[in-house]
Amino acid sequence: MKNIAIFASGAGSNAQKIIDHFRNSSIARVSMILCNKPEAGVLNIAQQEGIPSVLIEKELFFRTDHYIKLLQDAATDLVVLAGFLWKVPANLVHAFPDRIINIHPALLPKYGGKGMYGHFVHEAVILAKESESGITIHFVNEKYDDGATILQERCSITPEDTPETLAAKIHLLEHQWYPVIVERLLTS
Catalytic residues: 104
> HEC string of 131-167?
CEEEEEEEECCCCCCCCCEEEEEEEECCCCCCHHHHH
Asked if 123 contacts 66 with a C-beta cutoff of 8 angstroms, the reply is no
Q: Write the CB contacts of 65 (distance below 8 Å, at least 6 apart in sequence).
A: 91, 95
What is the length of the chain? 188
Q: Is 91 annotated as a binding residue?
A: no
Q: Is 12 annotated as a binding residue?
A: yes
Q: Is 13 annotated as a binding residue?
A: yes
Q: Is 14 annotated as a binding residue?
A: yes
Q: Which residues are annotated as a binding site for (6R)-10-formyltetrahydrofolate?
A: 63, 102
Q: Which residues are annotated as a binding site?
A: 12-14, 63, 102
